[in-house]
Amino acid sequence: MKIIDKVNSIKNQELTATENLEQMYNVIQEKNDDINAFVETDLPRAQKVAEDIDKRIKNGEETGKLAGLVIGIKSNINVEDYIISAASPTLKDYIGSYNATVINKIQEEDGVIIGLTNMDEFAAGSSTETSMYGPTDNPSAPGHIPGGSSGGSAAAIASGMCDIALGSDTGGSIRNPASHCGVTGFKPTYGLVSRQGLLDLAMSLDQIGPLAKDVTGIALMLDVITGYDPYDPTTMKKETPEFLPYASNTSLDDMTVGVVKEFMDVTDDKINNKINQSIDTLSNLGAEIKELTFEDITLGLPTYYLINYVEFFSATRKYDGRKYGERIEEVCGPEVSRRIQIGSYISQKEFSGKYYKKALQARSLIRNDFNDLLGNVDIIAGPTVPKLPHKIGEQLDPMDMYAYDVLTVLANITGIPAGSMKAGLVDDIPVGIQLQAKPEEDYKVIKTMSALENN
């Protein structure tokens, strides 16, 4: 049953919000010890919300867009009275004292928040192995990483623990775990969704977005969380379109889809086979396919990581042990420590010209070139992640870990919308296809994903 059908059946009293919550919570109880997708849940609190929704439905009152859906939230988004640790010992006892804007919106639309999901420490990773809560298993490929940093959110969806989850995506952290776990994930255009209440990794790159098992879940959540927020000056002061109608699209007759040669060149052949099959499907659905080239691909990772280090270093200065928790340098893991040290080094005046300013120049170049590329097509389609997930615990050097991100960081550098959905299985492990569009053309990504899904 699609997520939209589930909401409708709750509103039509074929299923109660309470029953839906019970079903999902049973899965959490049964599987979370092994999977470690949720790090904290609050059943009584969720039950109260579900009961209130059921009461209102019975009384014939209006309910919100998410009525009775069970929602998981990444542990770096503030939810009042939950521990908002970003999976770091730095904030292990930090209790959220307010709701992020997206959380208020979810509550206004009657989503039932069940708990917080696992992630890499401060969202700095691609494997969910650097969490203070321990790693999350991949329900779709047990023993392998679920991807990251929103690995808990993706694993929660893949194992049926919740209907929709929120993640954050700075360089791929929604799309990468969606790809590895075989679910759908979406990073909106920068500025479409409020970041107020999100713990920053790198504020000029971060966006909050949804993960779900189908595109209707993604579109529903976008309809709830997008929009201008006076508390986040980076949000756009524009009407956002309604996304749900695009989630029932079945044809791509009016669409042009670009396939970038260099994106395929860096990807494993077996993964490319699956992506090519999906591209054939896009063509059969009516899309015109164009071949494109993008040589700036080699600039993506260095540009991304330099900006990430500098902005992350600056964001972590508030974790000095006075106002929040512990002094970060004293308790954080090696990846966070690496970013703080390098970020501190390249933020110094004498080095910033050499590294940071160069990264900003490269960012403009990539943005211009990528926008030019998108000028010829509606959608760019290709692999989300260039290689299969490693086994949990396998030691990777930092560069090999960063290599997972080569195809996802471009959307953050440029601010464009990008989604990932399952293309197929390679060696029994899911692989995702990534669909990217021009800024503010998020609906085209939804439209394309929907046609692929409904095919």
- Figure out which of the listed residues 20, 173, 226, 235 binds ligand GLN, where binding follows CB under 6 A: 173
> Can 344 be counted among the known catalytic residues?
no
Give the nearest distance from C-beta 226 to ligand GLN in angstroms.
Answer: 19
Q: Are 215 and 420 in contact (CB under 8 A)?
A: no
Alpha helices in 132-260 (DSSP H): 151-158, 175-181, 215-225
Q: Are strands 429-436 and 418-426 parallel, antiparallel or unpaired?
A: antiparallel
- Give the interface segment with ligand GLN, choosing from 14-22, 51-59, 121-129, 210-218 (CB under 6 A): 121-129
- Figure out which of the listed residues 171, 185, 325, 415 binds ligand GLN, where binding follows CB under 6 A: 171
Q: Are 316 and 333 in contact (CB under 8 A)?
A: no
Give the nearest distance from C-beta 69 to ligand GLN in angstroms.
Answer: 24
Binding mask 396-435 for ligand GLN (x = CB under 6 A): ---------x------------------------------
Give the nearest distance from C-beta 438 to ligand GLN in angstroms.
Answer: 21
Give 425's strand partners.
Answer: 430
> Can 251 be counted among the known catalytic residues?
no
Q: Which of residues 348-387 bind ligand GLN (CB under 6 A)?
A: none
> Can 261 be counted among the known catalytic residues?
no
Q: What share of the chain is helix, strand, coil (3-state, %, to 5)?
A: 45, 15, 40
- Give the interface segment with ligand GLN, choosing from 170-178, 265-273, 380-388, 443-451 (CB under 6 A): 170-178
Give the nearest distance from C-beta 126 to ligand GLN in angstroms.
Answer: 4
Give the nearest distance from C-beta 150 to ligand GLN in angstroms.
Answer: 7
Tokens of 240: 């956002």
The active-site residue out of 75, 88, 149, 168 is 149
Give 186's strand partners.
Answer: 419
Q: Which of residues 282-341 bind ligand GLN (CB under 6 A)?
A: 308
Asked if 123 interacts with ligand GLN (CB under 6 A), we say yes
25 vs 404 by CB, closer to ligand GLN: 404
The residues, any chain, with a CB within 8 Å of residue 117's CB and separated by 6 or more, are 37, 38, 39, 72, 73, 74, 75, 150, 152, 153, 155, 156, 165
Size of interface with ligand GLN, in residues (CB under 6 A): 14
Q: Which helix (H) or strand (E) holds 217?
A: helix 215-225
Q: What is the three-class DSSP state of 235? A: coil
The residues, any chain, with a CB within 8 Å of residue 206's CB and separated by 6 or more, are 168, 169, 170, 195, 198, 200
Q: Are 140 and 8 in contact (CB under 8 A)?
A: no
Asked if 169 interacts with ligand GLN (CB under 6 A), we say yes
The active-site residue out of 2, 6, 31, 74 is 74
3 vs 406 by CB, closer to ligand GLN: 406
State the burial class of residue 19 (Cβ atoms within 10 Å of its Cβ: 0-12, 13-18, 19+).
middle
- Figure out which of the listed residues 75, 99, 126, 278 binds ligand GLN, where binding follows CB under 6 A: 126
Catalytic residues: 74, 149, 173
Residues of this chain that bind ligand GLN (CB under 6 A): 123-126, 149, 168-173, 201, 308, 405
